[in-house]
Amino acid sequence: MNNFKNKILSFLDNLFIYKETNKYDFFLPEKESCEVNTQKKDEMDISKQTDYEDIFPNININLEYMQIKYNALINSDVVIREFNLIAKNNEYKAFLIYLDGMVDSNMINDFILKPLMLRNSANTYIKDNQNKSITIVKNNYGIKKVKKFNLEEYIFNSLVPQNSIKKYTKFKDAISDINSGNCILFVDTISTVFSLEVKGFKARSIGEPSNEIIVRGSQEAFVEVIRTNTSILRRLVNNENLIIENIDVGKISKTKVAVCYLNNIANEDLVYEVKYRINNLDIDTLISSGQLEQLIQDDSSIFPQLISTERPDKAVNYLFEGRVVVIVNGSPYILIAPGVLVDYLSSPEDLNLKHQYSNILKLIRLIAYFFALLLPGLYIAITTYHQELIPTELLLAIASSRETVPFPLIFEIIIMELSFELIREAGLRVPSPIGPTIGIVGALILGEAAVSAGIVSPILIIIVAITGISSFAIPDFSLSFTLRLLRFVFLILGAVGGFLGIALGIFVYLCFISNLKSFGVPYTSPYIPNSNFTNSTTSFFTKPIWKREKRPSFLNPKKDNEEGKISMLWKKSKKEKE
Amino acid sequence: MVAKKICFAEAIALIIILVINRIILGIPKSLLVNSAFSATLTIIFVSIITILIILFINKLFKRFIASDILDISEFLAGNLLKKIVGILYILLFLGISILCLSYICDVLKSIYFEDADKLFLALFFIIGIVIVNRMGFSSIIKSNLIIVILTTIVMIVMFVLSIQLFVPERLFPLLGFGIKENSFAGLTDVFAFSGLTYIMLIFPFFKDTQDFYKTNIISTILVTIYLAISTLCLLLVFPNSVISESIFNMYILARLTDLGAFLQNTDFIYLLFWILSIFSYLSINMFFITNIFKKITNLKNRTAVVYAFSLIIFVSILLINNITSYNFLLNNVYKYYMIAVIVLSIIILILANIKKKKNSNKT
């Protein structure tokens, strides 16, 4: 009894007595301060101050430059292997640079490191007449010249048994090859590097996406291995500014989590916030990205706040916008932060289709969104309280179809909704060969039998079917789940208060989503608060590809423009170009 | 982005939601009963006066950046005046909330819920107000912007659809009952621009202080357009006698418009959005009531008093028995009370400006 009394008192305390809340509240800073930070960082950043073009003969300078360029201290998949190269029995300092996951390690070991490092007949062989002097007669004088040993030619011709090898003298060529999966060999005393083709990433055999299927676009999906996933991102981004930082999460499991972002685009505060949250988790184990999502999201509400995807192309699109990708080892679903409401209504296919097609699809999805949320609630509100709104013929049809049904409408509709959820859940759990059977049993036999038995009315079957189909049209699984749950709330509100109840639900719903934030970004962005969405890549309606000039301003990216003012330069006449 | 700060669009929506509710709840009617086409002229006349008042208020606020009328009152005559002004504003917002809630419950009861109790209907609004006010100001303001945009679209559609019902002869007599009546009697219609009361309180919430001055002007112009169009629509569709006798003119206008054979009854769409806008309006009022109360009593947090004020509103609607009482209170009590509060606020602003000028001269 005392316990019950205490519980009531504590409930009343919580309800009426003000307590200082320690709610963690993160905001992305204003644009101005962000710009100042970026400017300061640029001043400090050596790589931006000195963007070298030509390769130096001094290996230490080359090494330092490449370390800065690739952020080697924090980038987990950038490998720099320093060693001593033997040529003509002399030792030269050298290093190899490559991206782990994109190269074949065996090829590097057997065909690059072994021939260069280990003493063998090729690298220790000294020809007798190697340094033989030759005499050139000029103006009746004999000049004695010693033929120098050419290390560059020697390595190229004699030491590296590779079928595809290129020589570069510019850093940008070398960096481009590293990004595409080659290994670059730097050797002391020469200002040329060797690009060795040792590509070893897994390509098409990775597997198709099973839940995010599209018609036009990439057909590969992430896998459970973190390094394979990072290599997929590397291959698609193909830029040295992609940073992949590894963090171990879980005191027992020490699960590898990779935080990926584009160094020159993503907002620094956003990146720090993601890393801060992941670094400050006091847990024993982490098994999947779903668990991590719940641990790092802003609010524990039912709305999804991080985008979850199995599609690399979708992840890369978001990376280029300035968002942060989080990969968890052992999970084929990666997380993208932050996520705003319009993201959950977008499909990766939207960007591949012409904007007219994708906008029609988006409009259909928007209608599906409202049907999935409100249709059963509106049906019950109209048929219970506002019958005069329905045209007379339709009203008579509804009344006659409900004539034989012995239950109140709310009971009838809850039975049908629950049955539908049961069929859906059973369809997911049963082995795939008998999956269609569940559909047939559920849709045809149960529906038909329920109508014949007079348990439900045929019009209600149509309402529940439209609602169910609409919830399948939502591209994001988590948002679809949210709508499924909220549908029941609207159902009850519609039954209790008709339109008044529905309006109450919509009002609270709007306030709730307006209050939500994902990593400091308002959930209703880019519309409320009003960001620049007219030329932005993130807005509900897709712009023509030539008009997607700006990155979403709500992310405060370091680079605002994604494309030039005129992206299709070929359309300009030659005169205009000049 | 700083919490609890509002941007330009959100501030304009905050002022507009007031007038949307006024339109729904019958301001055009009260403007129209005395005159014919001159009602529209009266609105334009009153709006010019309001813009002049706004320009004057803007000038007065230049010396008090990011302060509201309570801070200015405190500066002028200490804590006592601050408390008096605070209580006057609380009574103002409480009064309009009670009137508004009572009216919409009566209307809903007569249209859709004949068997339901008025308190039962009011309970929905009260629940909404309490939940949303616990979420915070930012969520109310952002959702208000969404609601204002949606309601504006819906009302524009309604006005466009009502064009087919216009009877141009109803424009006459063009000057109503004469210029004198329109200009002097119409002056009291300045209460249609009740956004002035919000203007006195919203300055501290602006991200950019310059937006405050712009918001005041632009929102008044938008309110004028809104009021003028809605009044004109009612005027051209209904005879004067119908307007003066019916209780919910906008709803009747909504019922008359249709979109072909299937969508004969589109009024439920309008009603749904109007209810949403009333939810939003009441929630904003509740925010200001509790915020003022917090300021004058030095409370740590305002959410605890939301329950108390919601309960007061909930119980007080029983005092208004019917729509006739509502009309009486609105036109004979509230209207003059609001004008008095605005006039008092302007006087405080003028005196505070003089005091500040003297202080700066001394230093």
For residue A185, what are the β-bridge partners? A96, A194
Inspect the interface and report whether the beta carbons of B142 and A514 lie closer than 8 Å: yes
Do the domain assignments include residue B359?
Answer: no
| pLDDT tens per residue across span B224-270 | 888 888 878 887 887 776 766 666 777 888 888 776 666 667 777 88
Q: Is the pLDDT of residue A48 over 60?
A: no
**A18 has a chain B CB within 8 A of its CB:** yes
- Mean pLDDT score, A179-190: 89
Instruction: Report residue B182's pLDDT band, with 50, 70 and 90 as the boundaries.
Output: low
Do the domain assignments include residue B321?
Answer: yes
**CA–CA separation, A315 and A192 (whole Å):** 36
Which one of A18, A28, A507 has the shortest CB-CB distance to B301?
A: A18
Do the domain assignments include residue B3?
Answer: no
Q: Is the pLDDT of residue A512 over 90?
A: yes
Return the C-alpha torsion angle A14, A16, A19, A22, nearest 10: 60
Do the domain assignments include residue B65?
Answer: yes
List all residues 6 or more positions away from A296 whose beta carbon is below 8 Å from its beta carbon.
A274, A277, A278, A281, A306, A326, A337
Contacts of B142 in chain A (CB under 8 A): 511, 514-515, 522, 524, 528-529
**B265 has a chain A CB within 8 A of its CB:** yes
Of chain B, the percentage scoring pLDDT greater than 70 comes to 84
- A239-243, B260-264, B281-285, range with the lowest pLDDT: B260-264
Inspect the interface and report whether the beta carbons of B124 and A501 lie closer than 8 Å: yes
Inspect the interface and report whether the beta carbons of A504 and B279 lie closer than 8 Å: yes
Of chain A, the percentage scoring pLDDT greater than 90 comes to 34
Instruction: Report residue B293's pLDDT band, with 50, 70 and 90 as the boundaries.
Output: very high
pLDDT of residue A7: 84
- For residue A204 the two structure tokens come to 């098409």
Contact A160, A151 (CB under 8 A): no
**B262 has a chain A CB within 8 A of its CB:** yes
**CA–CA separation, A65 and A63 (whole Å):** 5
**A507 has a chain B CB within 8 A of its CB:** yes
pLDDT of residue A314: 92
Contacts of B121 in chain A (CB under 8 A): 497, 500
- Check the CA dihedral A458-A459-A460-A462 and report its sign: positive
- For residue B293 the two structure tokens come to 């109360």
Contacts of B113 in chain A (CB under 8 A): 385, 498, 500
List all residues 6 or more positions away from A50 whose beta carbon is below 8 Å from its beta carbon.
none
Inspect the interface and report whether the beta carbons of B143 and A506 lie closer than 8 Å: no
**B276 has a chain A CB within 8 A of its CB:** yes
**CA–CA separation, A71 and A263 (whole Å):** 9
pLDDT of residue B111: 85
Which one of B138, B275, B307 has the shortest CB-CB distance to A499?
A: B275
Residue A526 vs residue B124, higher pLDDT? B124
**CA–CA separation, A186 and A193 (whole Å):** 5
Contact B226, B20 (CB under 8 A): yes
**A498 has a chain B CB within 8 A of its CB:** yes
Contact B11, B202 (CB under 8 A): yes
**CA nearest to B125 within chain A:** A504
Contact A306, A273 (CB under 8 A): no
pLDDT of residue B26: 67
Select from B271, B293, B245 the least CA-distant residue to B89.
B293
Do the domain assignments include residue B361?
Answer: no
Q: Is the pLDDT of residue A26 over 50?
A: yes
Q: What is the CA angle A192-A194-A199, rounded to 5? A: 155
Inspect the interface and report whether the beta carbons of A27 and B3 lie closer than 8 Å: yes
Q: How far is CA A8 from CA A15, B127, B304, in A?
A: 10, 21, 17
| pLDDT tens per residue across span A360-373 | 999 999 999 999 99
**H-helix segments, A17-58:** 31-44, 46-49
**A387 has a chain B CB within 8 A of its CB:** no
Q: What is the mean pLDDT of chain A?
A: 83
Residue B164 vs residue A121, higher pLDDT? B164
Residue B170 distance to chain A (closest CA, Å) = 30
**B272 has a chain A CB within 8 A of its CB:** yes
Q: Is the pLDDT of residue A457 over 80?
A: yes
pLDDT of residue A327: 95
**CA nearest to B273 within chain A:** A503
First and final C-alpha spacing in chain A: 89
- B82-91, B213-222, B232-241, range with the lowest pLDDT: B232-241
| pLDDT tens per residue across span A202-214 | 554 567 777 788 8
Q: Is the pLDDT of residue A46 over 50?
A: no
Inspect the interface and report whether the beta carbons of B108 and A500 lie closer than 8 Å: yes
List all residues 6 or more positions away from A370 whose beta carbon is below 8 Å from its beta carbon.
none
Q: Is the pLDDT of residue B179 over 70?
A: no
**A34 has a chain B CB within 8 A of its CB:** no
pLDDT of residue A31: 59
Q: Is the pLDDT of residue B279 over 70?
A: yes
Residue B74 class from Cβ within 10 Å (0-12 exposed, 13-18 middle, 19+ buried)?
Answer: buried
DSSP assignments along A48-101, one per residue: HH----BPPS-HHHHHHHHHHHTTTTT-TTEEEEEEEEEETTEEEEEEEEEETT
**CA nearest to A505 within chain B:** B128
Do the domain assignments include residue B238?
Answer: yes
Tell me the pairing of strands A78-87 and A90-99: antiparallel
Whole domain around residue B178: which residue ranges?
8-350
Inspect the interface and report whether the beta carbons of B276 and A522 lie closer than 8 Å: no
Inspect the interface and report whether the beta carbons of B303 and A522 lie closer than 8 Å: no
**B114 has a chain A CB within 8 A of its CB:** no
Do the domain assignments include residue B357?
Answer: no
Q: How far is CA B152 from CA A192, B17, B230, B232, in A?
A: 68, 10, 11, 16
Three-class secondary structure assignment of chain B: CCCCCECHHHHHHHHHHHHHHHHHCCHHHHHHCCCCCHHHHHHHHHHHHHHHHHHHHHHHHCCCCCCCHHHHHHHHHHHHHHHHHHHHHHHHHHHHHHHHHHHHHHHHHHHCCCCCCHHHHHHHHHHHHHHHHHHCHHHHHHHHHHHHHHHHHHHHHHHHHHHHHCCHHHHCCCCCCCHHHHHHHHHHHHHHHCHHHHHHHHHHHECCHHHHHHHHHHHHHHHHHHHHHHHHHHHHHCCHHHHHHCCCHHHHHHHHCCECCCECCCHHHHHHHHHHHHHHHHHHHHHHHHHHHHHHHCCCCCHHHHHHHHHHHHHHHHHCCCHHHHHHHHHHHHHHHHHHHHHHHHHHHHHHHHHHHHHHHHC
Contact A298, A522 (CB under 8 A): no
Residue B296 distance to chain A (closest CA, Å) = 17
Contacts of A30 in chain B (CB under 8 A): 1
Do the domain assignments include residue B29?
Answer: yes
Inspect the interface and report whether the beta carbons of A511 and B113 lie closer than 8 Å: no
List all residues 6 or more positions away from B150 whose beta carbon is below 8 Å from its beta carbon.
B273, B276
CATH (domain of B91): 1.20.1740.10
pLDDT of residue A204: 47
- Mean pLDDT score, A69-76: 87
Which one of B10, B128, B264 has the shortest CB-CB distance to A507?
A: B128
**A32 has a chain B CB within 8 A of its CB:** no
Q: How far is CA A486 from CA A365, A422, A504, A506, B147, in A?
A: 17, 17, 13, 10, 20
**B298 has a chain A CB within 8 A of its CB:** no
- Upstream peptide bond of A436 is cis (omega within 30 degrees of 0): no
* Structural domain total, chain B: 1
* ipTM of this complex prediction, to 2 decimal places: 0.90
**CA nearest to A525 within chain B:** B142
Single-letter residue type at B201: L
**CA–CA separation, B90 and B125 (whole Å):** 19
Inspect the interface and report whether the beta carbons of A508 and B128 lie closer than 8 Å: yes
Inspect the interface and report whether the beta carbons of B304 and A524 lie closer than 8 Å: no
List all residues 6 or more positions away from B308 whose beta carbon is below 8 Å from its beta carbon.
none
Instruction: Report residue A130's pLDDT band, with 50, 70 and 90 as the boundaries.
Output: low
**B145 has a chain A CB within 8 A of its CB:** yes
| pLDDT tens per residue across span A443-455 | 767 777 888 888 8
Instruction: Report residue A352's pLDDT band, with 50, 70 and 90 as the boundaries.
Output: confident
Contact B197, B1 (CB under 8 A): no
Inspect the interface and report whether the beta carbons of A27 and B1 lie closer than 8 Å: yes
- For residue A427 the two structure tokens come to 């369809």
| pLDDT tens per residue across span B3-42 | 467 888 888 888 888 778 877 776 656 666 656 566 777 7
